[in-house]
Amino acid sequence: MKPRYEPAIKCLIVRLHKGSVILPLNLMAELVAGSELAASMHPGVEGWLHWRNRQIPVVSLESLCMEEDAGESDEGKCLILHTVSAVPGLPFVALRVQGGLNTLEILPDTLRDDHGGNVQRCPYVARQVRASHLLCFIPDLPAIEAAVAEVLQLTVEQQELAISE
């Protein structure tokens, strides 16, 4: 029996305030300066980024995971991602990041699970791994998108209430 060939997945490694995330390269739409965000009144959404005639919700993985010392990126960059869920009206989300982008081709044996230091499990992190000796998080994008969609639903309901009053 022939061994099954599994192709490498082209991924991005992006730095957060603390740690890094790994994302499939095909989800990236654009890396933009996100220093001027419209304010958000909702927990979990740091603000709104105006991008290509759209309002994109900006989230921070650290804020979602309620890390005490989650600070804003000094560089104010946002990585705009195509969503993976079929949520109507949510084609993109933006993730608050720092620095530039690094690429990595991931094979089945590239990632090693790392449970050290992961005392409190965040529901928005699918896995904590080491890639080339770098501690990285693989975000649970469907969970993040569901949280943002819930915020958007609240926003729609509040707008409808304001209009009807």
Closest CA to 19 of 138, 145, 144, 142: 138
Reply yes or no on whether the pLDDT at 59 is more than 60. yes
The pLDDT tens digits for 129-153 are: 887 778 888 899 999 999 898 887 7
Q: What is the rounded distance in angstroms from the CA atom of residue 94 to the CA atom of residue 145?
A: 10
Task: Give the model's pLDDT for residue 73.
Answer: 43
Mean of all residue pLDDT scores within the chain: 80
Task: Give the model's pLDDT for residue 6.
Answer: 73
CATH topology (fold) of 9-164? OB fold (Dihydrolipoamide Acetyltransferase, E2P) (2.40.50)
Question: Which tokens hold the place of 53?
Answer: 């005639």
Q: What is the rounded distance in angstroms from the CA atom of residue 37 to the CA atom of residue 45?
A: 11
Task: Give the model's pLDDT for residue 88.
Answer: 80
Report which residue type is found at 86.
A
Per the model's pLDDT, the better-predicted residue between 78 and 39 turns out to be: 78
Task: Give the model's pLDDT for residue 3.
Answer: 62
Average pLDDT over residues 90-100: 90
Q: What is the rounded distance in angstroms from the CA atom of residue 29 to the CA atom of residue 100?
A: 14
Model-level pTM greater than 0.85?
no
3-state secondary structure the chain: CCCCCCCCEEEEEEECCCCEEEEEHHHEEEEEECCCCEECCCCCCCEEEEECCEEEEEECHHHHCCCCCCCCCCCCEEEEEECCCCCCCCCEEEEEEEEEEEEEEECCCCEEECCCCCCCCCCCEEEEEEECCEEEEEECHHHHHHHHHHHHHHHHHHHHHHHHC
Task: Give the model's pLDDT for residue 24.
Answer: 92
